Every structure is written in structure tokens, then in C-alpha cells.
Amino acid sequence: MKIRTRFAPSPTGYMHIGNLRTALYCYLIAKHNQGDFILRIEDTDQQREVEGATDMIYQVLEETGLHYDEGPHKDGGVGPYIQSQRLDLYHHYAQKLIDLGGAHYCFCESNDNNIDPCTQLSEKEIEMKLSQNIPYVIRQTIPQTGTTSFEDEVYGYIEVENQTLNEGILIKSDGYPTYNFAHVIDDHLMKITHVVRGNEYLSSTPKYNLTYETFGWDKPTYIHLPPVNKDETHKLSKRNGDASYQDLKEQGYLKEAIINYIALLGCSFGDNEILSLNDLIEQFDIKHISKAPAIFDIEKLKWMNETYLRKLSLQDFHQLVFPYYQHITQDIDFLELSLVLQPRLEKLKDIETMTDFINKPYPFDVSLYTHKKMKTNPETSLKVLQLIEKHLKDFDNFTNDDLLVQLFISLAKDNGLKNGQVMWPIRVALTNKSLTPGGAVEIIHILGQDESLKRIHQAIIDLTLYIQRKKEIE
């Protein structure tokens, strides 16, 4: 039998991490076994539906490479693939389930009892209430004896006593089905062989199986996934504002890094953790899914994102980051900037703060010129910058990093200085920042001769004024 999995999200907001992981595992299970991956939109909870969320689902799946074989825009003969377009089907099977004794009409305004009193109504009483247009729901009828069991691929054998199961609503008073009913009908009609979902559905699965059994249908293989937690005790939750796929993209994480990292949340793939989507398809094994909750570690994701950025060729990296240079108004060597950023960048959103000194340096801060490790202070820095300014005016190759390095090393040696005593004041003069992408040579290359000399000259003025005022106070 050909394996068929389905990703069935509700359009109630952004694609949160747990939801995307479910989609990924559904995709990997199908593709690892040359099967089909189906997309179904479960929009029966109309009150919670968010405008634009369905389009967001399509966009994320397309962007991440999780292309579905059947779905709203790819009819495979078992559609429609949007539940709100399948209402007639649910009503047909709900009536059939009533006829088979697996469900019943319930006219109660509320029902908190395990046993619904409406199960005791005669057919005549039911017909009378229906003819009087008394509002009703259709509830599942649960046997009060016996047990229901199933085998889960992750959690193993599970058995519950039927009397512990509540008679949940299958069709609401507004005519829309609940998840508890609609997904069973859809999974059967769409020939889904493997159902992948969060482990919060483990306790409800026996009720779903009772519906399968009443209809006489084959049950799917169940794969319930452990939760993704923010820490040891708290789950990630979009309701609590935890990161969604869109949030991570906005922060500058690459889609490849996000998918790669999410795949590792609850499943092992051996020693190599940097895996393309094709690698994940080839290596995925249901047996390697863990029962334990996975902890979402943002530092691990940063490391993975850095790794993907480093793997790019310089040209590809430059093409990727160039749109993030739009805030830069100076005429600079952008390729050199990319060369400097690539080994240092964690995520794309950091580019602006890493390069904000390019348009203009930060305000003068004399404290930056004192650096114990570099053995610098304002007085020594002033002398170095005066020396550098003099030699840079006659230097004619600001794009040759090797020649710039040789110049600075020679000046340090000829004047009895350490290399750091020359490099550090230059870096501060050019940026007025303690942390910069690259050192003095790279920054000079990026800014060019005119801008570099302009900033060094201004730093000389600022240091001179500071030292003069200091002497006056003393």
C-alpha cells in the first residue's frame, strides 16, 4: 500500500514551530517511502479563523520546499481539501454513524455528564424535537463497557476503559463538524495511511478508533510527536507569543537552517547535524523519534544559521545580504563589506546594527581609546592617529588589504609600538564602536580613502580637545 500522510493545519494564525515540525515529519515520512504528502485545511472552527492565515500556510510550505502532492490547488481525486467545502460529506456520515449506533442527537443545552440523557430518547421523541426545530448537536455514543486500545509508533501500546471517555460533540449546532469527527472522515476518504500529530491527541485517539470501528474502516498508523518546549516545563505556544516560522525569518534565520533545526527537535539523525532537505528525506526514520519533549534552543539555531551562512560562496552570500544594505547611503565597497560580514554574521537582521557606523561614526567616546590589552590610552592614540593620517594621505591603494597591513605593521615597528597600539585607535576613530565587523584594515577598505581620512582627522581634533581640557583641569 502506498504511504499517504497529511498535514492538516487550522488557519488560526502564524505557522508556529510545532506545527511546522508536524508538516516536515509528514513530508519526510511520505517522501522517504516514495509516498504522497497531502495538504488539508481544517477551517471548521470559523470563530478562530484568521484572515490571510490560509495563504500563509501555502506560502510557508512553498518557501520551505514542503511541496504537497495533493491539496487545495492540486486535486488528487479525493477533494475538496478545505473542510468548510465538505460539510455535506460530514452530515452524510454523521447520519450514517447515528444509524450504526455510534452517535446520537443531543438536545441538551449543556452536558457535563459522562452519560448523555439524550441517548435514552426514543425515535419518536427525537423526530418530534427535530420537527420543532429544537437546536441540537450530534454527539458520539461511547460504549460504557470494554476497552479500546491502539499501537502508537512512538509511545507504544495504549489501552483505555471506554467508560472513561466523554461523549464529545461531532457536529456542532451551527452545522460545522468538530475536529474529533471531521478528521476521521477525511483521513478515511483521502486514504491516509499514517497520521502524524502532537501527543496531546493521544488521549482522544481511542474515541477516534471507536468511530473507525463503528464504520468498519481500517485504522491508520499513528505517530504522536512529543511537544516542543521553551524550557524543561513550558511548551512553546503561539498564544504566548513564542517564535513562529515567520518570526524566525524576520529575525534573519535562513529557511534551510530553520527546517534543518526543526527536524532535530525530537528526532535523531546521527552525528552530522547539518542536513539538507534531501538528506533529511534519505535519513528519516520513525524509530528515531523521541518520546521526551524537545527543548527549543535558540543558541543552537544561531549556530546552525551561522554554519549555513559560512557555507555559501561569497557571491551567493553577497546576493543574499545585499537587500539588507539599503540603509547604507555612503558610496562604499559593498563586496568587501560582505567579505567582512560572512565569517561574523549570526543572522541577517544583525546586519543593520553591525554596519550602522558606515553612514556616520558613533558620537566621540574617549573611553574607547583606553584598552588595557592593546595598551592604548587617549594620549598614545592621538600620536598614532597623527602618524597614520600623515602616511595614509600619500597611500594610493586602499583596496589592497595586504599592503595596508604591511603599512601599519611597519609604522608600529619603526615607532616602537605594538601592532594593537596602531590598529585599535584606527578602528575606534573610524567607528567610535567597541565591537565592529572586521578590524582597522577591513573598515578602511570598506569606507575608502576619503571617508577614512575624514574620520581619522575628526578623531584627532576630538582627542586633541579632550587632552587640552584634561590638562586645564589638572
List active site positions.
Answer: 238
How many helical (H) and strand (E) elements, i.e. helices and strands, does the chain have? 18, 11
Q: Which residue has the cell 560580514?
A: 341
Q: What is the DSSP letter of 121?
A: -
Residue 195 β-bridge partners: 222
Cβ atoms 324, 356 nearer than 8 A:
no
Instruction: Assess whether the previous peptide bond of 80 is cis (omega < 30° from 0).
Output: yes
Say how far apart CA 201 and CA 210 lie, in whole Å.
Answer: 15
| Alpha-carbon distances of 54 from 13, 31, 58, 71, rounded to whole Å | 9, 24, 7, 12
Cβ atoms 5, 35 nearer than 8 A:
yes
375-379 contacts at long range (C-beta below 8 A, 24 or more positions apart): 375/418, 375/420, 375/421, 376/420, 376/421, 376/424, 376/425, 378/463, 378/466, 378/467, 378/470, 379/467
Instruction: Assess whether the previous peptide bond of 378 is cis (omega < 30° from 0).
Output: no
Residue 251's contacts (CB-CB under 8 Å, 6 or more residues apart) are 243, 347, 349
What is the identity of the amino acid at 125? E
Residue 39 β-bridge partners: 7
Query: What cell numbers appear for 6 in the block?
Result: 497529511
Q: Exposure of 153 by Cβ count < 10 A (0-12 exposed, 13-18 middle, 19+ buried)?
A: middle
